[in-house]
Chain A
Amino acid sequence: MTTTGSGEPVVAVRDLTIRYGDHTAVAGVSFEIEHGETFALLGPNGAGKSTTIEILEGYRRRSGGDARVLGVDPGTGGVDWKARLGIVLQSSAEAGSVPVREQLAHFASFYPRPRDVDATLEAVGLADAARTRVRALSGGQRRRLDVALGIVGRPEMLFLDEPTTGFDPAARLRAWDLVERTRALGTTILLTTHYLDEAAELSDRAAVIVGGRLVDIGRIDAIGSPADRIPVVRWQDADGRHEKRTDEPGRVVAALVAAGGEPAGLEVVRPSLEDVYLGLIGHRSLEEQPA
């Protein structure tokens, strides 16, 4: 059935495979997204993030495995299924001559229970640009219109494919705020992004895809192996700079102090998501090189 409120995941992907001729773009990816969750797909360019999201949006056919979105196979989903989705694609350049408000109102008319058009423009910060033609918008404004088009139908499931690429820092913060508010309404969100701080800020869980394979999945603060998260203690003395990876940084620092007083240049550094992520994709590309 198509119920999603009874603990069934909103998105269920099992062993998803996509091949183009000899090339395997996605090789056996599995994950689930629960109701109300924000889930990030991370990975370098060409890793298979967008291909995966386009399968779930119904734009591409899979070669193997199984996929369900809101209980429906995306390859066969009809207009009633699409009415429950919101899709923010990577940037496109259409409808240049149409004013912003008219474009949004037109798309709102496709949905059974759309959001108020002016309130949506207000929420994405385009209220002042309502009468501007789409082609006269800046890149960031255009992206905000893309987001507005994605949420105007009150989606239960929102796909955000690199929603803030090309934004200035202030615009990114506003976009994050908007995603947070959308999520607060109970919307389930699947996000792809290059920005790890964005994934850390917005998502509950993340999956890392490299070369079409899922190399890790879990809570943002648990991505990577425990070994990748071991803190590093750095200090200086007469012999130069020292660095020690340890599970017990407090004990190391205490021993340093006991031995020679206050150490110069003392730092205790926990690996950032970025360090963990770069470790993950680095390991992977080393493993994939032929012996």
Chain B
Amino acid sequence: MTAIETIAPVPGRPRLGRVLALGMERTRYEVRSYFRAGDAVFFTFLFPTVMFVIFAAAFSSTGTVGGDGHGHGGISIAAYYLPGLVAAGIVLSGVQNLGIDIAGERSDGTLKRLGGSPLPVGSYFLGKVGMVLTTAIAQLLLLLGVAHFAFGVALPGSASLWSRFAWIFLLSVLMSVVLGIGISGLPRSGRSASAVIVPILLVLQFISGVYFNFADLPDWLKSVAGVFPLKWVAQGMRSVFLPDRFATAEQTGTWDLGTAALMIGGWAVVGLVIALTTFRWVRKDR
């Protein structure tokens, strides 16, 4: 038409390469921002390790768990608590911290500014996945390091256990991120976010075998916990970090990893649907 004709906006979706490249840029920015906020690092990053040290130290005199009754073949309390806190670390990094983080971004104007820029929503989501994955891995390395070097907990020795660990870990991180994005719409404001989200996760930690021995819970409570994902992440982690014979203490007497994969994957799908259908940069109509 004329010389000053501009590039026509292409309706529809931004190109995948651009979404991925900006997802990487968001990850870099988000990880740096995470470690710049000192209080968040203390409370969320160190939380699983701090809890682990408290439990391991507090109950160190109670001897071993799961031995033959004569002080043989058991594992230390520290080793026993490790898988639960690995699981809690993943789910807290994703659901709790991310949910509170995004609710805060919605109320402080971050999302409004991003929503007015050409950043694709997919890149924003990928940035959150990248941030949670990075911080969860760093958190895990610290926890495993403290458990192994300070408390002498033996880590899995076989490649098959580590590959089992890898899929449970990655699937759980993905699930936690989409649930975190989904749950961020629940609080009405950034100020109420902690008050709304923390208790939900606290209850789940108590009934899912993070702080108590899951086998000691009444059956009805085990069934309630079985509906939610944290129980299955914790069970998956026990299958990695505890000796195989501990499987007999589980509800079905096995590690039941097939059900764990289905439940974690199912919650990931639920979270993804909630995230995609409810996420808005700003509330459009008030």
Contacts and interface: CB of A to CB of B under 8 A. Distances in A.
B250 to A, nearest CB: 44
A148 B4 CA distance: 25
A208 interface: no
Q: Size range of the interface on B?
A: 35 or more
Contacts of B12: 78
Interface stretch (B67-75, B103-111, B179-187): B103-111
B117 A78 contact: no
A92 B119 contact: no
A156 interface: yes
Interface string A48-62: 000000000111110
Interface residues of A, number: 42
B6 A156 contact: yes
Interface stretch (A83-91, A176-184, A231-239): A83-91
Interface stretch (B29-37, B232-240, B251-259): B29-37
B14 A97 contact: no
A1 interface: yes
Contacts of A58: 115-116
Interface stretch (A103-111, A194-202, A244-252, A280-288): A103-111
A20 to B, nearest CB: 7
A95 B30 CA distance: 10
Specify the main secondary structure of chain A where it touches its partner. Answer: loop
B116 A87 contact: yes
A106 B3 CA distance: 32
A2 B108 CA distance: 33
A57 B37 CA distance: 31
A138 interface: no
A153 B118 contact: yes
B108 A84 contact: no
Contact of A94 (B9, B113, B118): B113
Nearest to A99: B36
B116 A98 contact: no
Given A6-B1, A80-B14, A1 B8 contact: yes
B120 interface: yes
12 contacts: A3-B6, A4-B4, A59-B112, A60-B284, A72-B9, A80-B10, A82-B117, A82-B118, A85-B116, A89-B113, A92-B112, A112-B118
Given A3-B5, A5-B3, 15 more contacts: A2-B6, A2-B9, A5-B2, A5-B6, A60-B284, A70-B9, A72-B9, A79-B120, A87-B117, A94-B105, A94-B113, A95-B33, A98-B32, A107-B117, A110-B117
When A and B form their complex, which 8 residue pairs have the shortest distance between CB atoms, in order from nearest? A92-B109, A5-B4, A80-B9, A83-B118, A97-B36, A94-B110, A87-B116, A79-B118
